[in-house]
Chain A
Amino acid sequence: MAKVDLNRVSMPKQEPEVRAGNFNEVALGYNAEQALYEANRCIQCPKKLCVGGCPVDVDIPDFINAIREGDMPEAVRILKGKNSLPGICGRVCPQETQCEEVCSLGKKGAPIAIGRLERYVADWELAQGEMEKPQIAKATGKRVAVIGSGPAGLTAAADLAKMGHQVTLFEALHVAGGVLMYGIPEFRLPKRVVQTEVDYVKSMGVDLRLDFVVGKTMTIDEILKDGYDAVFMGTGAGLPMFLNIPGENFNGIYSANEFLTRTNLMKAYLFPEYDTPIKRGRRVMVIGGGNVAMDSARCALRLGADEVYIVYRRSEVELPARREEVENAQEEGIIFKFLTNPKRFIGNDQGWVVGAECYEMELGEPDESGRRRPITKEGSEFMLDVDTVVIALGTTPNPLVPTTTKGLDVTKRGTVVADEKEGKTTKPGVWAGGDVVTGAATVISAMGAGKRAAASIDEYLGQQGG
């Protein structure tokens, strides 16, 4: 047997100075030769630890083996047997902390680039122009309402439809996809890929109802009364957090949700061809250290900023963003200001932000999150001149659905109480999963929750009889 190459095939990317000026996808994807070489690195170990590392149990060694054998339709079939959204997951899953983290090759060298191969398979299918229809079980006559068409809702809807249930997918916005459409930028997740996978879910017979704000247009109680046998809530964590410091409402200060929604969902980067405007700041400050902060900063850069700062109150090692995204941001010239925290914003007489007074921070003992707690250095204030601020501190669940649903318990953090294994809430007939239960987390963990809830709902509906 030939010796295994301990290095993975690197991902071809747009050059930093080029991509900083466009919204096209940064990572270009493997070609056939690169994919085959990477697939051949897989030692097909019997332990299959990678499968255990995947929240939706994709049969990883099998689809990699299909690539090796040149049987791409089979690779697609294996992948989609467990995951209806491979083009999305291949791009945005944090594989380095999941399947790839436990890869046997990782002990000696670089783990198999599972995410990149997953994307390769999905993109191959997309390029064929035609999707193979999944197997749908015989109709059960049961109706399920899935609320929210983000990763959790799409996954639950797809699985329930495959099980033969009649699924209606309710979405408040004018397109399906949730955070995949409004949050994650085009250069990281092309919207064409999202819509193709949404179409795939629709091809299973899922009835998508856009412009439908559950809690306003109809409540969950009304949906249940309307003849639905079960409800899955995958409404996400859509409510932006602010700092609650003086000056936060000056013009030019955005929540990351607004900044990204205008840019990605409404395509403000194509204004005025598209009608939604956005302020194209020259000196932009993004507050926060997660993927959303990285996305916001990189959008600001592409909108034409001269300087973009990421202001984070801890240090580089505590950054919650994916390493890959931090590196991408650094390569593109985003300036990181670690151990920095804003104290207040300064505005001009027209109500526009012109700067932020910031504290220097230092790290103390670890807090309940396990990370070292940031402590304000008194007297360390300094000014940062900026004309645009994006606050990316995280999000909490939107209370619109919980507050209009009788008997649905929520925690103090505003998340819906649901058991981790099955997603059952305190209200009979209602399941929940994804960020609405966990608080803001990852696409794949939401998909895992959608999958588990779908199985639980299926079991419940089976017990109900015909």
Chain B
Amino acid sequence: MLYKIMSRETLVPNNHLFKVEAPAVARKARAGQFVVIMIDEKGERIPLTIADWDREEGSITIVFMEVGVTTRKLAQLKAGDSIANFIGPLGEPSHIEKFGTVVCVGGGVGVAPIFPIARALKEAGNKIISIIGARSKDLLFWEDRVREVSDSLTVTTDDGSYGRKALVTEPLKELLEGAEKIDRVVAIGPAIMMKFCAKTTEPFAVPTIVSLNPIMVDGTGMCGCCRVEVGGETKFTCVDGPDFDGHLVDWDLLFARQRIYIDEEKHAMECACGEVASHG
């Protein structure tokens, strides 16, 4: 079966949005879940978080950053092209209920998956305070969409080219120190950002949920490639997560396991670039 790319856009350099025709996935998708995709029969299976869905249209929206061979190949595809395999929705949906006031933090490409979670939490009656950050203005996207589902929004950039010059943890800390009671924090972004968000909230004992992004193969609990340690216990991110208690995650283990194939990736990129050069 082929999954058609209904539309695509480059949100910011290296970050792309694809709307993919996948009615069976769209029917069941919920905030916090992911899909596993494979571009063609020689491709790798990679997980991508679901950024949005349209059940009537039968579409799933994914947003991804070009980081390796597979995401680079994916970025080459055009509207009307197809992806060979598109599997989901996988993982447990985010826990949605009325907690009170929830701070939603999205960093970099993590702004995309934080959006449906913020929206679901908002619909469940929570007050949503969002913080989104990027390295600089030209890498920031979906400010409008996140604003729409938030009671308030703070935008940060590392270089100060837009919004506040800060890391997302700074406004987060101020909120925790402020007068308003914060009942929950959800943080999605690069692993290092999630780690520091969790470290920021820990002294305040505010429950902090992070969405982990280790390497996966099948995404259904079969291989254990995505194992992480949470509270001293081994968990499979694909079936036990991807959402976990950020205060209990062994971050160093996650960082190490994310780097397992760094040499192979480099080698594959060189080969792929060589191919482009020889054909171009």
Contact = CB atoms under 8 A, between A and B. Distances in A.
Interface of A: 172-174, 182, 209-213, 216-218, 238-240, 242, 244, 248-252, 254-255, 257-258, 261-262, 266-267, 271-277, 279, 350-352, 398-400
B271 A272 contact: yes
A252 B221 CA distance: 19
Contacts of A172: 87, 218, 220
B234 A351 contact: no
B124 interface: no
Interface stretch (B135-143, B183-191, B196-204, B222-230): B222-230
Interface string B193-223: 0000000000000000000000001101111
17 contacts: A172-B218, A174-B84, A210-B1, A217-B24, A238-B220, A238-B221, A242-B224, A249-B234, A254-B225, A255-B223, A266-B45, A275-B43, A275-B268, A277-B261, A351-B256, A352-B256, A400-B221
Contacts of A255: 223-224
Contact of A277 (B42, B259, B265): B265
B87 A213 contact: yes
Contact of A213 (B88, B253, B256): B88
Given A271-B264, A350-B256, A216 B90 contact: yes
B239 interface: yes
Contacts of B267: 272
Interface in B30-75: 38, 42-45, 69-70
B252 interface: yes
Contacts of A240: 222-224
A175 to B, nearest CB: 9
B164 interface: no
Interface residues of B, number: 44
A251 B262 CA distance: 12
B223 A261 contact: yes
Contacts of A218: 24, 28
Given A210-B85, A257-B223, A266-B45, 12 more contacts: A174-B38, A211-B1, A211-B86, A211-B87, A212-B87, A217-B28, A261-B218, A272-B69, A272-B271, A274-B42, A279-B260, A398-B222
Contacts of B259: 251
Contacts of A400: 220-221, 239
B222 A261 contact: yes
Contacts of B261: 277, 279
B221 A239 contact: yes
Contacts of A258: 217, 223-225
A213 B264 contact: no
Contact of A173 (B25, B218, B260): B218
A274 B267 CA distance: 13
Contacts of B86: 211
A242 B236 CA distance: 12
B245 to A, nearest CB: 18
B42 A257 contact: no
Contacts of A271: 264, 268
A400 B217 CA distance: 16
A276 B44 contact: yes
A399 B222 CA distance: 10
B89 interface: yes
B230 to A, nearest CB: 11
A267 B252 CA distance: 30
A275 B42 contact: yes
A26 to B, nearest CB: 25
Contacts of B165: none
B119 interface: no
B16 interface: no
B257 A251 contact: yes
A77 B218 CA distance: 37
A255 B227 CA distance: 11
B257 A249 contact: yes
Nearest to B35: A211
A266 B45 CA distance: 8
B44 A275 contact: yes
A352 B261 CA distance: 12
Contacts of A398: 220-222
A174 B87 contact: yes
A277 B265 CA distance: 8
A254 B226 CA distance: 11
A267 B41 CA distance: 10
A210 B86 CA distance: 10
A238 B268 contact: no
Given A174-B84, A266-B217, A275 B222 contact: no
Contact of B217 (A216, A261, A272, A273): A261
A450 to B, nearest CB: 20
